[in-house]
Amino acid sequence: MKEKLELLKQNATSDINNVSDEQSLLRLKSTYLGKDSQIMQVMKSMKDLTIEEKKEIGKLANEVKSFIENLVKEKMNEISSKKENKRIFDNTLPVGDEIGSLSPITIVANEVAEVLKKMGFMIVSGPEMEKEYYNFEALNIPKNHPARDMQDTYWTNLGDVLRTHTSPVQARSMETYGAPIRMAAPGRCFRNEDIDACHENTFFQIEGMVIDKEVSISNLIYVMKNILKEIYKKDIEVRLRPGFFPFVEPGFELDIKCLICGGKGCPTCKNSGWLELCPCGMIHPEVLRMGNINPDEYSGFAFGIGLTRMAMMKYKINDIRMLNSGEIRHLKQFKVK
């Protein structure tokens, strides 16, 4: 039995040293240490030995078993670390000659920003992880106000929020620059949404705001129409209907006729033929006051365009999920015109 155990040790050592992949090693582990392995048979047959033999053979069998277990463990470590090394970025490899392209959302965001710059707007940005105050209170949405339910929010452990819209940049800009002001702020927003063809939990908006003396609704409508004309390069059918947002009064929803189905109704427009694209309105006097701007002296308008949806309409993308998919075959089709 002693010879059998010695032979077993030698065979296991040579077999295990010769494998280089995990699968083969696991097969050897089962051969040498599994239920039906020779070492287990030796262990089982110990009951037939004398006490003296049991002591000697038992000790040896245990040693051989631990020896093989260690061999397997070491070999497994060696194979795993080789795998890890392979995963490390090799900067000596040639770089592919495929050139990336801008995301359709970036293209549209840049285009809208260019249109607004021509109209005298400055482009600013705000934090994506926002203070509750700027996302809500400064926009006339106090704690426990039912309007908070319109935008289901992700909270951080520190009580900040992932901003649900770009409107907080309105409040920040009022504080920083005062009036008069024309500003636009493109950026990413987050909402705890049920995802479907036109809703994502991460999407983009561009906020716009004008504050000056004697700003009116007709100024607002002019700016909106101009943006749409410049982006879509044709007259787009729009409808303006009353909309409620606590930070504007009056507030409007500007919808455009769905460019995917031409207004017939499809999943992208939730079969209504229209797509909510650009809520807007005259800035609420309370919001101006909170931004240290005197509402008796100044008035203003603001809008929040859904950039992701604007890009979908422009490029006839019928499902919003495609935009966050990172699918290169889809994304590389879009080029700056």
> Which residues lie near ligand FA5 (CB under 6 A)?
165, 167, 191, 193, 199-200, 203, 205, 245, 248, 251, 276-277, 279-281, 302-304, 306, 308-309
By beta-carbon proximity to ligand FA5, the closer residue of 24 and 324 is 324
Peptide bond into 295 cis (omega under 30): no
Nearest distance from residue 111's CB to ligand FA5, in Å? Answer: 16
User: How many angstroms separate the Cα of 255 from the Cα of each of 80, 151, 269?
Assistant: 56, 19, 10
On whether the CB atoms of residues 32 and 91 are closer than 8 A, the answer is no
Nearest distance from residue 271's CB to ligand FA5, in Å? Answer: 17
On whether the CB atoms of residues 91 and 325 are closer than 8 A, the answer is no
Nearest distance from residue 186's CB to ligand FA5, in Å? Answer: 12
By beta-carbon proximity to ligand FA5, the closer residue of 57 and 139 is 139
Using CB atoms within 10 Å of the CB of residue 92, give its burial: 0 to 12 exposed, 13 to 18 middle, 19+ buried: exposed
By beta-carbon proximity to ligand FA5, the closer residue of 75 and 309 is 309
Nearest distance from residue 101's CB to ligand FA5, in Å? Answer: 22
On whether the CB atoms of residues 38 and 9 are closer than 8 A, the answer is no
- Residues in CB range of 215: below 8 A, 6 or more apart: 282, 298, 299, 300, 301
On whether the CB atoms of residues 108 and 231 are closer than 8 A, the answer is yes
| Rounded Cα gap, residues 329 and 215, in angstroms | 46
By beta-carbon proximity to ligand FA5, the closer residue of 140 and 205 is 205
Nearest distance from residue 232's CB to ligand FA5, in Å? Answer: 15
By beta-carbon proximity to ligand FA5, the closer residue of 193 and 237 is 193
Name the residue whose CB lies closest to ligand FA5: 306
Tally: H helices and E strands in the chain: 12, 10
By beta-carbon proximity to ligand FA5, the closer residue of 5 and 320 is 320
Nearest distance from residue 80's CB to ligand FA5, in Å? Answer: 42
DSSP string, 99-134: -----HHHHHHHHHHHHHHHTTPEE----SEE-HHH
Nearest distance from residue 245's CB to ligand FA5, in Å? Answer: 4
User: 214: alpha, beta or left, given left = phi > 0 and alpha = psi -120 to 50?
Assistant: left
Tokens of 243: 């909309």
By beta-carbon proximity to ligand FA5, the closer residue of 71 and 248 is 248
